[in-house]
Amino acid sequence: MRCWIPLIVLLLSLIFIPTIKADQPNIVIIYTDDFGYGDVGCYEGANVKTPNIDRLAKEGIKFTDAHCSAATCTPSRYTLLTGSYAFRNERARILAGSAGLIIDPKLDTLPRVLGNAGYKTAVVGKWHLGLGEGDVDWNGKVAPGPNEVGFDYHFLIPATGDRTPCVYLEQHRVVDLDPNDPIQVSYGKRIDFSPSGKEARDTLKMDWSHGHNSTIVNGISRIGWMTGGKKTRWVDEDMADRITEKAVDFIRQYKEKPFFLYFSTHDIHVPRVPHARFVGKSGMGPRGDCIIQTDWCVGQLLDTLDEMKLADNTLVLFASDNGPVLDDGYKDDANEKLGSHDPNGPYRAGKYSLFEGGTRTPFLARFPGRIEPGTTSAALLGQVDLPTTIAKLCDAKIPNSAFPDSRDATSTLFGKDKTGRPHLVHEVRGAQGLRLGQWKYVPKSTHDNLGPWINAKIPAGGALYDLSNDIAERKNLSQKEPAKLQELKDRLAKIRKSGDKE
């Protein structure tokens, strides 16, 4: 019997070791923060130059009706990694910097499914899906997190640039942590008694306009309190360089294997603090300068793929997690210096809204040999379909229970199917709207008291728009077309109940 043991072990390992197939493409998702439809040079409305991002459109396909899954960050990211609409998880709302991980570590996520197919997987940049089990000890092993949901490697901005803790996290550990200066983080009770953003307002590098007035880090006050970790705190001006360097390193290191890189930029989220070499480059103040900084990051990644001779076998996607916002809590001249730039293109509203501006965002895909260069598609594409589509392209096995709302959109992505999804859910703060072809249902609950872009008098039963002749969603047809409105509501109720795969 003894002599059989090595053979049995060998056979078992052959069964369980992921098999790498020669033609498995690399996947790079460049996931930007708060980029609106018009915030990329090659889109309608833009008055900013983004030659590197535009290169993806020239060498690939540009979508004009592509949507993130929600009008804020956390739910969109949750859907991107799980293929499940965020309303199926009540915790998938904008998270505090102390929130616990909201992805169940048992789930078959996109990185896990790809990892099982032999991929090396990494997330570099903004996470904002929670870490640990809530109020984690930042001085020890911070887990569960990305590794426990399937990523091999992570280098993170734990929540957002405007939330404490203002430190990077690499493979479960705060980077450069000094044990003699432990970190504490609090949302709620004040723990930091050094002057706050409220008390030392006149000393700030960038003043706040609402919220964002607790602990001061790098001359900018944030949401949430933090003490300790003085040497580990990030310098906002270096953030794009730091994450780009890590992403480039990952590509170089795993050039021999198929890899999945989820590169999640901090820009153009607040606080917008570009590196000195981008300051003044857009003529639009920090928001525009951060767009140019992102374009530089994209250029670095594309150059690395060229240099490593990987471009031909790599699908590169460029997308955003929600629509645009101007003043999102800091006085950074986003409104004052906007000029003729239209962050939401021809669409209505932006971040936090279920009007098209909230979710219709730039989406570019480059895949040499598979996607024809210089194509434009008006097909309805939802990021919810990326997990299934990517897994299929990578020849990865999708377990039956995985990605409950995610369909195979390969032919849409490759520009062959010109219609795309028949319908698509949009969500924000637990409320959902629906696109059904040209029709759009917007519920009331989300649109009160949200500032001039978003405020809208939506009747209690919700509003209905016909995008075929009203892309700006100005003519509510709920009175005129009650049967159509009911059809959309019924469809939404069905999707809520039974998933959105069929």
Written in H, E and C, the secondary structure of 1-51 is: CCCHHHHHHHHHHHHHCCCCCCCCCEEEEEEECCCCHHHCCCCCCCCCCCH
Find out whether 98 and 185 touch, Cβ atoms under 8 Å. yes
Q: Rounded to 5 degrees, what are φ and ψ at 189? A: -60, 135
CB of 325 to ligand NG6, least distance (A): 8
Structure tokens at 108: 């078959």
128 binds, among Ca ion, ligand NG6, none (CB under 5 to 8 A by kind): ligand NG6
Alpha-carbon gap, residue 257 to 246, rounded angstroms: 17
96 secondary structure, DSSP code: P
* Other Cβ atoms closer than 10 A to 210: 10
Q: Pick the closest to residue 36 from 247, 342, 264, 270 (CA basis).
A: 342
Toward ligand NG6, which CB reaches closer, 116 or 322? 322
Toward ligand NG6, which CB reaches closer, 209 or 486? 209
Toward ligand NG6, which CB reaches closer, 210 or 494? 210
Cβ neighbours of residue 120 closer than 8 Å, sequence gap 6 or more: 152, 153, 254, 257, 258, 259, 260
Which residues of the shown chain bind ligand NG6 in the complex (CB under 6 A)? 33-34, 72-73, 94, 128, 160, 162, 210-212, 223, 269-270, 322, 328-329
In order, the DSSP letters of 111-128 are HHHHHHTT-EEEEEEE--
Q: How many residues does the chain have?
A: 502
192 binds, among ligand NG6, Ca ion, none (CB under 5 to 8 A by kind): none
Structure tokens at 180: 């003699």
Structure tokens at 345: 């293109």
SS3 383: helix
CB of 187 to ligand NG6, least distance (A): 11
CB of 128 to ligand NG6, least distance (A): 6
Toward ligand NG6, which CB reaches closer, 72 or 164? 72
Q: Determine if the peptide bond prior to 343 is cis (ω within 30°).
A: no
Find out whether 355 and 347 touch, Cβ atoms under 8 Å. yes
CB of 219 to ligand NG6, least distance (A): 18
54 binds, among Ca ion, ligand NG6, none (CB under 5 to 8 A by kind): none
Which residues of the shown chain bind Ca ion in the complex (CB under 5 A)? 33-34, 73, 321-322
CB of 365 to ligand NG6, least distance (A): 23
Toward ligand NG6, which CB reaches closer, 270 or 398? 270
Toward ligand NG6, which CB reaches closer, 128 or 287? 128
Toward ligand NG6, which CB reaches closer, 162 or 385? 162
Toward ligand NG6, which CB reaches closer, 92 or 247? 92
